[in-house]
Amino acid sequence: MALVFKPGEVPAFPPSALVIRDKDAVIAPISVMTLYFIDQLESASGRVGLDDAYKHCKGQMAAYFRKKNEALRAAGKPEAPAHQPVLYTFGTQNIDVIP
């Protein structure tokens, strides 16, 4: 999965971000956690608590890697290691994300 932008409409990315540029588009691959975080925000009808979004990502990522590894095993290939989402927050209260 990736975010794709037209040249000239690209936001600023941090220097550590992988960005692929060609003549027609600028592509920024996203992680599995980011994919499910965006999914949670797109399907929300209002505010999303960061704790709830994290739980959503954790459950969806577990299902994703279960399915991916079933397909890899069936193809006789080595399994991909499961990923655990990591979210750092230094606040003392839940943060709401507004889509």
DSSP 4-27: EE-TT-PPP--TTS--EE-SS-EE
Task: Spell out the residues 6+ positions from residue 44 whose beta carbon is closer than 8 angstroms to its own.
Answer: 99
Q: What is the mean pLDDT of residues 50-54?
A: 90
Read off the tokens for 51: 């704790």
**Pick the residue with more confidence: 24 or 16?**
24
The pLDDT score that the predictor gives to residue 17 is: 66
Record the pTM.
Answer: 0.66
Cα 85 to Cα 61: distance, rounded to the nearest angstrom: 8
Amino acid at 77: K
